[in-house]
Structure 1
Amino acid sequence: MRKLIVTEFITIDGVAEHERLPNVAWTDEMQAFKEDELADSGAMLLGRVTYEIFAGHWPAEKGDFADRFNALPKYVASTTLKAVDWHPAELLEGPVTDAVTRLKQRSGGNIYVHGSVTLARQLLGVGLVDTLRLLVYPAAAGQGERLFPSGKQTALELVSAVPFSNGVVAMEYRAVAKA
């Protein structure tokens, strides 16, 4: 079975809203983190907003990373989009939790959820996320869209934590099965 991995840029207080992240220098360490994800990825699962942002940006990018990123199969969770044109891509059909469960049962590499905070939060809430990969920024945003569902505990097991020279910490957590 494929793993579902959520990858987020996040502040120490759990805000994953891109506009609220502090400005930090992109480093070789951060690039290596993203390269590792790409090497491990068999597909992307995106919400509508992230899909539209990525589809408006990545097809014009050049280079090895962009070529590999663009070539990944993309699954889009949206109730408003009627078509997707950043290929290869397809819209998920039916309830998102059912569609993601079916995706995880298909053959292929791991499925990465990039950004897509609302979708990631929903999948965390129903226990479909296997791994969280976080680039934790050295600041508290104080307000903004949070990754973790409000009022609900999420049990995680730390796999690794690696501090980077710019103050960002790369953290990986494994979801703990509910007893």
Structure 2
Amino acid sequence: MSTVIVSTFVTLDGVQDDPQDWSLEFWSEEYGRHARDQLLAADALVMGRVTYEAFAATWPAVDDTGSPTEGFADRMNSIRKYVVAGRRPSLLWTNTQPVTGDLATFVRELPGATLLYGSGRVARTLAAAGLVDEFRVWVHPVVAGGGTNVLPGWPRTRMTLLSQTQLPHGVVVLSYRPEPLTPPSNIS
């Protein structure tokens, strides 16, 4: 059974939309190394169609040789990638295949650590099935002023803090483990 880690960027006002518009100014070498180490620890990526299309349009052309994050682009391009899509996108990116059948069953049967970027429909489906083992929130010190909340439609979930990592420029990565909710006891 796979260990599922959801990793998402968020603003102080809880927005996850368009991180390319507000997260890049907070990049640092330590930030990049943290992102690289997270990816290198994964055995596979699961993503929705929109994320897949954005990544597939970017990563094959990236050469990070000699950069502080050297190895990130190679790993992004070589890792096993599984795409969840209502309509099948063009799966031309190396080592990519569609998720077939029930998403929860498919992910449950993956070996090793599975990484999912974002917290949209795919993450909500896995959370509802009790398959998210860790939720990593990269909090960026910026207010977006509007957009989709980071956890719209997620099932009610109690989270236990596993770790917190402060990165330069005020970015904090909070790692949580979702816990089963216990119903309140009847107090007479």
Query: Measured at CA, do residues 176 and 8 of structure 1 come closer, stay the same or move farther in structure 2, by a change above 3 Å?
Result: same
Unaligned runs of 5+ in 2: 66-70, 183-188
TM-score by length of 1: 0.86
* Deviation of the 1:22 alpha carbon: 5.5
Contact 2:108 2:131 in 1 (8 A): no
Q: C-alpha displacement at 1:37, in angstroms? A: 0.7
Residue in structure 1 matched with residue 82 of structure 2 by the alignment: 75
Alpha-carbon displacement from aligned partner over 1:81-111 (angstroms, at most 9, x marks no partner) = 25411120111122xxx3333333232x211
Higher mean displacement: 17-26 or 41-50: 17-26
Q: Are 1:161 and 1:170, in contact at CA under 8 Å, matched by a contact in 2? A: yes
Amino acid corresponding to residue 42 of structure 1 in structure 2: D
DSSP 3-state at the match of 1:171: strand
Distance 1:104 1:125, change over 3 A: closer
- 2:110 is equivalent to residue 106 of structure 1: yes
**Residues 147 and 119 of structure 1: is their aligned pair in 2 closer, same or farther, counting only changes over 3 Å?**
farther
Give the aligned CA root-mean-square deviation in angstroms.
2.1
Matching residue's letter, 2:100 = E
Normalising by structure 2, report the TM-score.
0.83
- Whole-Å Cα distance in 2 between the matches of residues 16 and 68 of structure 1? 24
What's the offset of the Cα at 1:150? 4.2
2:5, 2:113 within 8 Å by CA — same for their partners in 1?
yes
What is the aligned residue count? 175
Aligned to 2:4: 4
Which of these residues, 177, 182, 185, is aligned with residue 174 of structure 1? 177
Paired residues of 2:26 and 2:140 also in contact (CA < 8 A): no
Give the partner amino acid of 2:50: V
Question: Is residue 131 from structure 1 mapped to residue 138 from structure 2 by the alignment?
Answer: no
% of aligned pairs identical?
Answer: 35
| 1:117 CA displacement | 2.5
3-state SS of paired residue (2:175): strand
Q: Offset of 1:54 from its aligned partner? A: 0.4
2:107 and 2:155 map into 1 onto residues whose CA distance is: 25
- Contact conserved, 1:16 with 1:147, CA < 8 A, in 2? yes
Change (3 A) 1:156 1:85: same
Using the alignment, how far apart are the partners of 1:72 and 1:23 within structure 2?
A: 24
Secondary structure, counterpart of 1:6 in structure 2 = strand
Task: Read off the aligned partner of 2:60 and give its amino acid letter.
Answer: P
- CA distance 1:116–1:55, shift in 2 (3 Å): farther
